[in-house]
């Protein structure tokens, strides 16, 4: 592998690391937002339950609101789980990209050393 080829592979690996890191940041943001959604949905469910106790004349309406809030909380929990899975996947992607970048850097270093030993430079 020439120095130029090794450098190109290293640059490609660096780009892959950057993309994976951006994906991790997005997954972390989604996970945080999902956790906030769960808290909000749980608060809504609590409020709906209190409304049902306080307004006996509106029991049917409160029950519907409580059921809706429970469904929202369940959906938010599913979102949290999905976001956490995405975060785990992005962490794996970052780790794999870091390894690939390190390998590409080492190939470049080796190619540069070979070129230096030959007394020539085939680098970019």
Model confidence at 124: pLDDT above 60: no
Q: Residue 56: is it exposed, middle or buried by C-beta count within 10 angstroms (0-12/13-18/19+)?
A: exposed
pLDDT digits (tens, 9 = 90+) for 98-118: 888 899 999 999 999 999 998
pLDDT digits (tens, 9 = 90+) for 47-92: 877 876 776 666 777 788 888 888 888 888 887 788 788 888 888 9
Q: Judge whether 124 lies within some domain.
A: no
Q: Judge whether 72 lies within some domain.
A: yes
Number of domains in the chain: 1
pLDDT (0 to 100) of residue 55: 64
Model confidence at 21: pLDDT above 80: yes
Q: Judge whether 44 lies within some domain.
A: yes
Q: Judge whether 122 lies within some domain.
A: no
Q: Judge whether 60 lies within some domain.
A: yes
* Cβ-count burial 3-30 (b if 16+ within 10 Å, e if not): beebbebbeebeebbeebeebbeebbeb
The Cα 103–Cα 8 span in angstroms is 12
Owning domain of residue 14: 3-117
The Cα 19–Cα 93 span in angstroms is 9
pLDDT (0 to 100) of residue 16: 83
* Average pLDDT value for residue range 6-32: 85
Q: Judge whether 123 lies within some domain.
A: no
pLDDT (0 to 100) of residue 3: 92
pLDDT (0 to 100) of residue 36: 86
pTM across the whole model: 0.53
pLDDT (0 to 100) of residue 12: 86
Concatenating the DSSP letter of every residue in 3-63 gives HHHHHHHHHHHHHHHHHHHHHHHHHHHHHHHHHHHHHHHHHHHHHHHHHHHH-GGGHHHHH
* Cβ-count burial 88-105 (b if 16+ within 10 Å, e if not): eebeebbeebeebbeebb
Quote the tokens at residue 44. 């809504």
């Amino acid at each position: 592998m020439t120095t130029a080829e090794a450098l190109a592979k290293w640059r490609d690996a660096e780009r892959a690391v950057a993309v994976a890191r951006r994906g991790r940041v997005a997954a972390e943001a989604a996970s945080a937002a999902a956790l906030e959604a769960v808290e909000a949905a749980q608060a809504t469910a609590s409020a709906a339950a209190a409304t049902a106790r306080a307004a006996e004349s509106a029991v049917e309406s409160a029950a519907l609101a409580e059921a809706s809030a429970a469904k929202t909380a369940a959906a938010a929990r599913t979102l949290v789980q999905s976001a956490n899975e995405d975060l785990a996947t992005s962490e794996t992607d970052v780790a794999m990209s870091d390894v690939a970048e390190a390998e590409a850097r080492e190939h470049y270093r080796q190619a540069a050393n070979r070129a230096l030993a030959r007394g020539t430079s085939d680098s970019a």
